[in-house]
Structure 1
Amino acid sequence: MTDILRTRFSRPVRALLAGLLFVGIVPLSAAASAPTPFTATYQVQRDGQTIGEATITLSASGSDTYAYRNQTRGTSGLAALLGASSDETTRFRWHDDAPETLTYDYSMDAAIKQKHRHLEVDWAAGQVTVDEGKGPIRYASAPGMVDRNTLPLALGLALREGRKSVVLPVGVKQRVEQQQYAVQATEPVSVPAGEFKAQRVSRTDTDKPFDAWYVTSKFPLPVKLAQSDGGDLTLLLVKFHSP
């Protein structure tokens, strides 16, 4: 994705693709319950203009295993013209009352760039393998580790249990990052799905702004997310359905 972001088309494409990473802990408490399947739709905005749409689904794929998929596509401007889209799918297990990544697949396609990433965790060996087509990278896993795709869900599940601060181990390309998040305030927020009083959560271990607004009594995902990394994006919940 680095190459596409360096082209003269980089601003709108980068803004959309950053949203695709949205689409980001100690294990959840013993009282935590497994997540319920759902479908959520978001507007992807930059500078107040809608440039894309993200659809996130969670489905059961076996005993205590789930598939979590984030599909994002450009709907306006150059992002639409270039056919920019991405597909992220994570298989995770519900283990010790917490989500843990089993596999993560990322695919980005646009007229001028394609990129793919496969991440797989061997929990018996305690090893993560990441491959982007240039040879595998391996590093040690960590209990409760998720990936960048399932980060918002894992954070929401932790907040649902009443936590005010969360340290979330996230498997990225070359290591596990111990990402830190904390509740900053409860404040009103308006999104296409409605008006809510939400907990605003910020990442506290980096100087790159990241804020997510959660209504954990209703949704395991944020109703709004704003981040500067990759294009000053805002994602707004449009609708949420859980059968």
Structure 2
Amino acid sequence: MTSSHSLRTFAAGLALAFSTTVAVAATPAPTPFTATYQVSQGGQIIGEAVITLKSSGNGQWEYSNRIKGTGGIAAALGANSNETTTFRWTNGAPETVSYDYKMDAGFKNKQRHTDVNWTSGQVTVDDGKGPMTYASAPGLVDRNTTSYAIGLALRAGKQAVSLPVAVKRNVETQEFKVTGKDTVKVPAGSFQTERVVRSGDENTFSAWYAPQKYPVPVKLSQSDGGNLELQLVSYKGGN
């Protein structure tokens, strides 16, 4: 498997693996932050991921996830991906308004735009091969914001999370659950965490959260798609 493919798989896995149809009661408004991660494959560092949340005005927020290849073939190819979501804050949780994905890896490029019309209740997805439209669902998120929605649910004390996620052709219900507590050491420090798995992927995907400290994982491990791992390097609140 090439490093460019692994980077693309990681971007998808990071987003998919990380997002509650249930309302999170009394959750305060979003707090801007920047989280930086180390991306590795088989013990070798191959990239850096930076997740940023900031206000975009008019009651909406921008959540971006940028991954840059910094080692091996990923660096040689200039492999990079960029995911940006605009969401509104509804019932204490993010609700997607639009989502954009772009991936550049040498000779291969990929992109996707998702737009949610909450007035008509329709989702439109276009990856360059013609738009597809389907019905939205309350609390809808996309693969980019699943991690943030999961963190908020854990912070509110949830041990199981059900998320309607906008994918290419439909709304896909994804189930996540806490399976235990672990002490995790990453470049950012040592944390007491809750281990979260995605139903159906218990043996291929795990994310570790310290939800009372951060709304995003401190570590993510994904064996499906190249034994990729993400570890938190730094977290900074504010714009």
Q: Does 1:78 align with 2:73?
A: yes
Q: Secondary structure at the match of 1:107?
A: strand
The residue aligned with 2:116 is: 121
Q: Secondary structure at the match of 1:15?
A: helix
Amino acid of the residue matched to residue 18 of structure 1? T
Amino acid of the residue matched to residue 178 of structure 1? T
After the TM superposition, which residues 1-243 of structure 1 pair with which residues of structure 2 at under 5 Å, given as runs? 10-21=1-12, 22-24=14-16, 25-206=20-201, 209-243=204-238
| Runs of 4+ with >3 A deviation | 205-208
Quick check: 1:193–1:239 contact (8 Å CA) kept in 2?
yes
Amino acid of the residue matched to residue 59 of structure 1? K
Q: Secondary structure at the match of 1:157?
A: helix
Once the two structures are TM-superposed, the CA of residue 230 in structure 1 deviates from its matched residue by 2.4
Amino acid of the residue matched to residue 77 of structure 1? G
Amino acid of the residue matched to residue 38 of structure 2? Q
Distance in 2, matches of 1:129 and 1:33, equals: 30
Amino acid of the residue matched to residue 76 of structure 1? G
Once the two structures are TM-superposed, the CA of residue 29 in structure 1 deviates from its matched residue by 2.4
Quick check: 1:59–1:66 contact (8 Å CA) kept in 2?
yes
Q: Secondary structure at the match of 2:193?
A: strand
Q: For the structure 1 residues 207 and 162, does the alpha-carbon distance in structure 2 shift closer, same or farther, using more than 3 Å as the test?
A: closer
Distance in 2, matches of 1:54 and 1:99, equals: 21
Per-residue CA distance 1:35-67 (angstroms, 9 max, x = gap): 200001000111111100001100011132100
Quick check: 1:71–1:85 contact (8 Å CA) kept in 2?
yes
Distance in 1, matches of 2:142 and 2:203, equals: 19
Per-residue CA distance 1:152-184 (angstroms, 9 max, x = gap): 011111111000000011111111111000000
Distance in 1, matches of 2:58 and 2:185, equals: 37
Distance in 1, matches of 2:50 and 2:155, equals: 22
Once the two structures are TM-superposed, the CA of residue 31 in structure 1 deviates from its matched residue by 1.3
Q: Secondary structure at the match of 1:28?
A: coil
* Highest RCO, 1 vs 2 (Cα 8 Å, sep ≥ 6): 2
Q: 197-206 or 50-59, which moves further after superposition?
A: 197-206
Matched pairs, number: 234
Once the two structures are TM-superposed, the CA of residue 229 in structure 1 deviates from its matched residue by 3.3
Q: Secondary structure at the match of 2:120?
A: coil
What is the RMSD of the two structures over their aligned residues, measured on CA atoms? 1.3
